[in-house]
Amino acid sequence: MSTHDSVLRVGMVGYAFMGAAHSQAWRTVNRVYDLPARVQMALICGRDEPKVAEAAGRLGWDAHTTDWRRLVESDEIDVVDICTPGDSHCEIAIAALAAGKHVLCEKPLANTVEEARQMTAAAALARAAGVRAMCGFNYRRVPAVALMRQLVADGRLGEIRHVRAVYLQDWIVDPQFPLVWRLQQDRAGSGALGDIGAHIIDLTQYVTGQRIAGVSAVTETFVKERPLPAGSSGLAAQADGNGRAMGRVTVDDAAVFVARLDGGALATYEASRFATGRKNALRVEINGSLGSVVFDLERLNELEFHDATRPAAEQGFNRILVTEPEHPYMSAWWPPGHIIGYEHSFTHQMRDFVEAVATGVDPAPSFADALQVQLVLDAVTRSAEQAAWTEVEPALAELAA
Ligand code: SOE
């Protein structure tokens, strides 16, 4: 138990996969870390009353509502946690910031650059009143990723020359998989690009400290029509040969691009939901003048490090088991060698967020950092449409805010 008196009353909007992951982290964070504030899981919101009532009980929330505006405006809420599809991030976040609530918003920040700009401006305004905003790129908080960043920042890799990043899944390979919201542009913004490509864009910019300055991209939608999910409405539907109602897929299934980073590195990125057999395969390799590092989410407790300054006879990729108390986030968990998993990255995210809010500092990634990711997503889409090299505008003005 922690030794604080202040309480942060959290209201969360959304209760599906990310809602469950966030709930687990909110439940755990004060039990693992000694923090200057205690989290109260006060209110959860969803549109379907029976479902959100059930989720409140199962996930451990004190109360539930079907009205997000009530949650955002409530005097009994200090933090608004947004775990909804991308088409509602902008409206909820701006309303919450205007109501003086600290905001944690799932990635990608928004569905468009324009929305991300509005959110970044709202966060800058709220910041002047001591209100904090953060975007939830959870993989930054995997200890091996944080260690990778430390090694780069300490100069152990020297000058960064190559970045190689892939994020691969296969959950829509079957053409009969229904047209869920993640396959609709108006709900999700983009497909594999924004959902999982956003993670590797953020992660590589974070680890290298370099910004993606320009891209050349190709994208593809392999399955262009899918069966409508049961009970769906409002989609331009038509029947296939077997009489099933079908709808058009309006996002990319895969996006591949090369990039230049502003520190001189060359980078390649691949985001796909059609990598048959790959379930959640995020892998990043960075090659520098003095060494290289490799991170693989399927082995998230490990970091491979090749130190080219060692005697030639001792060189090679070393496997670091990132479970020592000296490693980022790990001192509060188990004895060395006792590994952690996916959900811990969310607990670490809540730790950093609560600490920042309670001590009055800005958490990272800020909305401006997330806007920078959004600018890359937008440049990739335009590059693929125009088959042209496309510069990525820096979000500098917003970053300075
Ligand atoms: C679905 O593709 C998803 O849940 C993403 O939305 C998450 O951000 C990623 O971490 C796992 O896959």
DSSP codes, 88-119: GHHHHHHHHHHTT-EEEEESSS-SSHHHHHHH
Distance, CA 128 to ligand 1 centroid (Å)?
Answer: 33
Q: Is the CB of 169 under 6 A from ligand 1?
A: yes
- Position 167, amino acid: Y
For residue 139, report the phi and psi dihedrals to the nearest 5 degrees.
-65, -20
Q: Residue 232 above 90 pLDDT?
A: no
Which residue, judged by its Cα, is nearest atom 1 of ligand 1?
A: 195
Q: Is the CB of 253 under 6 A from ligand 1?
A: no
Q: Is the CB of 315 under 6 A from ligand 1?
A: no
How far CA 164 is from CA of 200, 258, 341, in Å, comes to 10, 9, 23
Which residue, judged by its Cα, is nearest atom 9 of ligand 1?
A: 196
**Strand 254-261, strand 212-220: pairing:** antiparallel
Q: What value does the mean pLDDT take over residues 159-169?
A: 99
DSSP element (H, E) containing 65: strand 63-65
Q: pTM (2 decimals)?
A: 0.96
CA 338 – CA 269 distance, rounded (Å): 32
Atom of ligand 1 nearest to the CA of 106: 8
**Chain-centroid distance, C-alpha 150:** 20
Q: Residue 235 above 70 pLDDT?
A: no
Q: Is the CB of 196 under 6 A from ligand 1?
A: yes
Q: Residue 298 above 70 pLDDT?
A: yes
Half-sphere exposure for 124 (CA within 13 Å, toward CB): 14
Q: Is the CB of 378 under 6 A from ligand 1?
A: no
Q: Is the CB of 272 under 6 A from ligand 1?
A: no
Q: Is the CB of 152 under 6 A from ligand 1?
A: no
For 201-215, how does the pLDDT look when each residue is reduced to its tens digit (9 = 90+)? 999 999 999 999 999
Q: Residue 108 above 50 pLDDT?
A: yes
For residue 320, report the phi and psi dihedrals to the nearest 5 degrees.
-95, 125
- For residue 110, give both structure tokens: 């928004």
238: number of Cβ within 10 Å: 12
Provide, rounded to the nearest whole percent, the portion of the chain with pLDDT above 70: 94
DSSP 47-62: SSHHHHHHHHHHHT-S
Sheet with 37-45: list strands edge to edge: 63-65, 37-45, 6-13, 79-82, 102-106, 133-136
pLDDT band of 230, cuts 50, 70, 90: confident
CA 277 – CA 167 distance, rounded (Å): 13
CA 301 – CA 296 distance, rounded (Å): 9
